[in-house]
Structure 1
Amino acid sequence: MPEQELPLFDYNEVQIGEALGSYEYLLTQDMVDLYRRAVDDPDAVFPTIAVKHDATSLAMAYDDQTGGVNAGNEIDLHNTPIPGKKIRVTGRIHDKYIRRDKPYLVIEATAMDEDGRLIEKMRTYQLKKPEELGKKWHPQG
């Protein structure tokens, strides 16, 4: 079956509350161990942040050729994910706004395990005009 072509991301057209991609994956002990090595903490208990739930959800819904610059993250951690359990991720547009004449998008991803336990809610703030980055240090003149 051929891959479905995604619609181009258009900041002006996306709606607050709009659903993005949803998916499941099996959290393995190897994933947990790899994350713990990467953060140099043998007891790290919230490895799902390494999976990029937010970016994956957006990429499943849109072909985002504009790119974006990470302007911040918020994460609410609720329960420790358990290796061997499936994690279901749902994404949505949480907010969008203009600040200092620049468009921002807030993507929210919610992760729950197969038993219905809420693992995390993550919100990522993206500046949707990446060409703006660094302009204050390199003014036109």
Structure 2
Amino acid sequence: MSGHPAAVPGRNLTDPSRAVHDEDLEAGLKPPVYEEIVIPEEFGPVEVVVDDLKVRRFAFTQDDHGDWYLRSGPDGPRIGHAGLLANDLLQLFTLHYAASQVVGLHTEEELWFDRPVRVGQRVRLAGRYVDKYERRGQGYVVMEADARDEDGRTLVRHRGVEIMRTAPAEVAGRGSAGGGGGGRRVSDAYDTSLPLAQRLGAGSLPGTGLEPLRKEITFEQMAVFSRIGEFVTNIHDSLGTARAAGLAVPIVQGQQLVCYLAELLTRVFGAEWLWTGWLRVKFLRPVSAFDTIEAAGAVREVERDGSRTRIGLDVWVRRGDASLAAVGWARGEVPTDRPVRGILPFADQG
């Protein structure tokens, strides 16, 4: 299968410096349409270096400049953000398919966080298409992928569902808030008599709302997140491509919204999120460039099991007009008999 992974591991899926001598950076790649998809289809492995620039670039796209990422982690060495490799995993299919021809729509995302990503680490990414199906006139494809360290241990696992080659302006908004977390429908309601939680522990109560995370999303942040640095053109980083797809302006990549939720959950669980976190998100409505969002959630279940306590939540992303852009389910663990390890990953950590 034709592809263009970098010969020497770099911080990107592809090597943008090839533009110096390669006229067409996507020559030999397949058109990203449903009819071209083969099941199963393998992507990678490809090595990526988690260097300082990769971390600082991600911090810019998310406006998330916590001390763990830029100075030192909870156990000493610097670590990457929880969502640092999420888009690399999602985009693995572009090793075989022309990224700048993609006009698709991400409909579901699921992530498991098994270990922190260390700055300076080489990680190996690999994925595969495992299923394809048609529904309501649209062709869907399912990818599973993971990032592993040099010893072969998983760091982050991904499962995503995408509509291949569609009209985003017509399809967006068809989703629902049901059917994901053990069959439970997501609710954005919480007990307003309880104080909003900035962090979670074994004593957290069901019904507790989370202190929301608010962001104003700039086009520059969207474009960098969506691979403009690799000369990829899409509905997230190009006004012309967005308008050709029926959009007034570029829209935020769904995976970027997922990373805002991952930031919120890192804040409330602390370092435990990077070892025990699970997040599943469904996308309901697009978020446009220049909009504001609010990532929030509420505790639904607290289950104590010996030395560990599992906390289940509903989570959501709300647009500036107060409508829901995404909803989901999350779960993490905390120690039952002691405070959460490294609970504040930011400048005010004591």
Q: Same fold (TM over 0.5)?
A: yes
Q: Aligned residue for 1:99?
A: 135
Distance 1:17 1:136 in 2: 27
Runs of 4+ in 1 over 6 A off after TM superposition: none
- Structure 2: runs of 5 or more not aligned: 1-20, 70-80, 174-350
1:58 maps to amino acid: F
Picking from 33, 42, 64, the partner of 1:40 is 64
2:8 corresponds to 1:8: no
CA distance in 2, matches of 1:110, 1:136: 27
Q: Which moved more, 1:64-73 or 1:117-126?
A: 64-73
Larger radius of gyration: 2
Q: Which residue of 2 aligns with 1:73?
A: 109
Give ranges in structure 1 of 5+ residues lacking alignment: none
- Provide the residue aligned with 2:144 in structure 1: 108
Distance 1:135 1:108, change over 3 A: closer
Q: Cα distance, 1:111 vs. partner? A: 0.6
- Is the partner of 1:48 in helix, strand or coil? coil
What code does the residue aligned with 2:136 have? R
Partner of 1:120: 156
TM-score by structure 1 length? 0.76
Structure 1 residue 13, shift from structure 2 partner: 4.1
Structure 2: which amino acid aligns with 1:59?
Answer: T
Higher share of residues assigned strand = 1
Q: What one-letter code is carried by the residue in structure 2 that aligns with 1:88? A: R
Contact 1:21 1:59 in 2 (8 A): no
The one of 57, 80, 88 aligned to 1:52: 88
Count the aligned residue pairs. 136
Question: Which range moved further: 88-97 or 64-73?
Answer: 64-73
The residue identity in structure 1 corresponding to 2:29 is: L
User: What are the Cα deviations for residues 69-104 of structure 1, in whole angstroms up to 9, with x where unaligned?
Assistant: 111211111111111110110121022111222111
Contact 2:33 2:164 in 1 (8 A): no
Q: Cα gap change, 1:122/1:134 in structure 2, threshold over 3 Å: closer, same or farther?
A: same
- Any idea what SS the aligned residue of 2:54 has? helix
TM-score by length of 2: 0.34
